[in-house]
Amino acid sequence: MIETNYNPDVLSCLANLSNDEVFTPPHLANQILDLLPDEIWSNKDAKFLDPVSKSGVFLREIAKRLMVGLEKQIPDKQTRINHIYKSQLYGIAITELTSLLSRRSVYCTKTANGKYSVCDGFNNEQGNIIYRSIQHTWKNGNCEFCGASQEVYDREDALETYAYPFIHSDITKTIFKNMKFDVIVGNPPYQLSDGGAGASAMPLYHKFVEQAKKLNPKYLSMVIPSRWFAGGRGLDDFRKQMQKDKRIKILIDYPKSRDCFPGVDIAGGVCYFLWDKDYNGRCKFTSRIKETETVNERYLDEFEMVLRDNIGIGIVHKIISSKEKMMSDVVLKVSPFGLRSYERGKPKPFKDSVKLISSAGEGYIEKSTVLKNRELVDNYKVCIGYLNPDRAGVNNAADGMVNVTTKVRLLEQNTVVTETYIIPFSSPEYDKVLNCSNYIRTKFVRFMIQLTLSSMHIAQKNFSFVPMQDFSETWVDEKLYKKYGLTKDEVTYIESMIRPMDITQNTEADE
């Protein structure tokens, strides 16, 4: 295990098997370990914990590095192996199956005290890679520790409960008693089904980060989805905590998850970070898209959300300096008229009806059934779908360009939409709404929306850096680039990223 180069590495193959509990490929594990200071590998007293061990890849790669770093201090190879495995490496497996896999990767046998184990001296099968069967603690239909749905996860003993020990117990008291860890590193489970419709799920990864911080290691590094950059369901408090935490020394962001996990699609991309207990300063933020990377040292709480585009931040500064009102102040909140996505209405108009636009097409409903913003029904409206058509980077288009929004529609008067759509602007004046619809079609506006996206949904907050304009005027990209003083390189950057969208002079009803 220490001396052989595996080709292919079985853990590289496993890394392509899942997009829920994502296995970490060895090359990524080593990139994350590279964030740690070199001297850690020659510290024979340092203790390392992977609290969410799936394949054992982190512990295996740590062992390789310690074998080299401790060679002078512990010259005898077997003595060195025994010391590293018994006194430095610790893991908590997330399931019984992954515990066997992790031990096989690290000890070269599924039992730590087995005949073929590379480490002498373990007196039990688990060694330091522990699996404990933990039960959820149900309260009002959900687990009070992780939020799992009782309906989904209250299972018979023979089935996996996905009650992960690291966030369901105090591991320093129940598993590794009174132990202090210098380094905590891992790739936690990302989500759990919440029992909702379809594939509805709630984020889970942030709970592992929060729990790891409570153990107060010297270093913490985890790879997690980047969706927390903008907050959202269950993540707003976590986002604020991460943004304020000046101990996050390095953050590496992959807007397209396949650039990090080959073959795995995670909407909004993924990131990994180094948290250093003794650091207090700016974060070295690196954005990686294929072979291109940009680096910027900055505070993560400069804006309400974490902006992931290091070039785009310069453009944001220029817009903010104009001191103009932003469109987020006028975009209607989710479900603009209080109509659920399944609303369809009747096929033909009737007395006192209003037209309803849904994902199924057009229908007609009574005006009295409009629950919100009824005073805007008679306005002309700009309308876009609430789903990002690029699926937050998941579509991996060959040309590398994005649309950002669905088709921009200009809705006639007496028209409403279901919650499947958002309304960025409305007015009783047709020309203003037409000019706004064309404004949103510009690459400039869609780029500013793209800067804020870290999920598949577009919402009011995604217009936070889209400046309001005088919509009695027409707006095109060239005019906007000049107004905000964009450089030639900034214009080229936007033009290379955003697909063109046709400018129209017609309402949807006329098309």
Confidence band of 511 (pLDDT split at 50, 70, 90): very low
Q: What is the 3-state secondary structure (H, E, C) of 51-119?
A: EEECCCHHHHHHHHHHHHHCCCCCCCHHHHHHHHHHHCEEEEECCHHHHHHHHHHHHCCCCCCCCCCCC
**Is 60 exceeded by the pLDDT of residue 119?**
yes
Q: Which residue's entry shows tokens 């790739």?
A: 187
**Is 80 exceeded by the pLDDT of residue 135?**
yes
Percent of the chain with pLDDT over 70: 90
* pLDDT score recorded for residue 451: 92
Token pair, residue 204, equals 């889970």
Token pair, residue 257, equals 């998850």
**Is 70 exceeded by the pLDDT of residue 504?**
no
Q: Are 415 and 399 within 8 A, CB to CB? A: no
Residues whose CB is less than 8 angstroms from the CB of residue 98 and which lie 6 or more positions away in sequence, other chains included: 53, 54, 55, 131
Q: Greatest CA separation found in the chain?
A: 91
* pLDDT score recorded for residue 393: 66
Token pair, residue 364, equals 């007609």
CA 469 – CA 324 distance, rounded (Å)? 8
* pLDDT score recorded for residue 413: 96
| Top-confidence range, 134-148, 155-169, 439-453 | 439-453
Ordered by start, the domain boundaries in the chain are: 221-308, 322-510
Long-range contact set of residues 99-103: C-beta below 8 Å, sequence gap at least 24: 99/53, 99/126, 99/129, 99/130, 99/131, 101/14, 101/54, 101/55, 101/56, 102/53, 102/54, 102/55, 102/56, 102/59, 102/129, 103/56, 103/127, 103/129
* pLDDT score recorded for residue 17: 42
Confidence band of 194 (pLDDT split at 50, 70, 90): low
* pLDDT score recorded for residue 164: 87
Q: Across all residues in the chain, what is the average pLDDT?
A: 89
* pLDDT score recorded for residue 12: 54
Q: Are strands 361-366 and 380-385 parallel, antiparallel or unpaired?
A: unpaired
Looking at residues 18-38, what average pLDDT do you find? 85
What pTM did the predictor assign? 0.86
Q: Which residue has the higher pLDDT, 279 or 395?
A: 279
Residues whose CB is less than 8 angstroms from the CB of residue 177 and which lie 6 or more positions away in sequence, other chains included: none
* pLDDT score recorded for residue 19: 40
* pLDDT score recorded for residue 289: 85
Q: Are strands 353-358 and 415-417 parallel, antiparallel or unpaired?
A: parallel
Instruction: Tell whether omega for the bond before 203 is within 30 degrees of 0, i.e. cis.
Output: no
Please count the residues of the chain: 511
* pLDDT score recorded for residue 13: 45
Q: Are 188 and 224 within 8 A, CB to CB? A: yes
CA 293 – CA 42 distance, rounded (Å)? 31
- Tell me the three state secondary structure of residue 274: strand
Token pair, residue 323, equals 């001191």
